[in-house]
Amino acid sequence: MINVRLGIPAALFALLSACSSAPLRPLPAPAAGNFGEVVVYREWAFAAGGIPLTVGVKDGGFVLLSNSEKVTARFTPGEHEIFVQARSSDPTKLRITVKNGQVLCLRTSASSSTYGKVALPPVLMITGYAFYLDEVPCPSHDELSKYKEVGPSYEPPGVGK
């Protein structure tokens, strides 16, 4: 016979563990003077507001963003595929071209489909939270200063080559 008191917490722990984000990894460090900056900022939203959003490249995340946070990351010039992903949902990907000395801004926000799913928690648990990721003109310095900066970490020079 299953002990219900122990079974429910264990099941809840297993469910939450399956929804956790992948471990974060440092970004490759670009050469001094040969990089562009990518600012990813997360707009405040009630739906999915308590869910950390992984920002990453290729197959690994490099930072977690909460509501009203931003990250400024340095990338070598060239094409990069950036993604945002909440828990176990499918990532939203965007291909960008970084130029030396350039600043690109990417805005992420909860998809309107997330708002509908909040009313049906089982659907939300199965499909996860969806987020948009768009390249946008950079907001003014005053506007961006409203977002808390979360810094990425970088690999030491020569690592990963």
Residue range 71-99: mean pLDDT, rounded: 93
% of the chain with per-residue pLDDT over 90: 55
Domain 21-149 class? mainly beta
- Give 125's pLDDT tier (boundaries 50, 70, 90): low
Judged against a pLDDT cut of 50, whether residue 146 lies above it is answered with yes
| pLDDT at res. 158 | 66
Contacts of 40 (CB under 8 A, 6+ apart): 55, 65, 70, 71, 73, 82, 84, 105, 106, 107, 108, 133
**pTM passes above 0.75:** yes
Residue range 80-94: mean pLDDT, rounded: 90
Write out the DSSP string of 64-104: EE-TTEEEEEEE-SEEEEEEEEETTSPPEEEEEEE-TT-EE
Domain limits, the chain: 21-149
Judged against a pLDDT cut of 50, whether residue 81 lies above it is answered with yes
Residue range 139-154: mean pLDDT, rounded: 96
In tens, the pLDDT along 91-100 reads 999 999 999 9
Structure tokens, 58: 């290729």
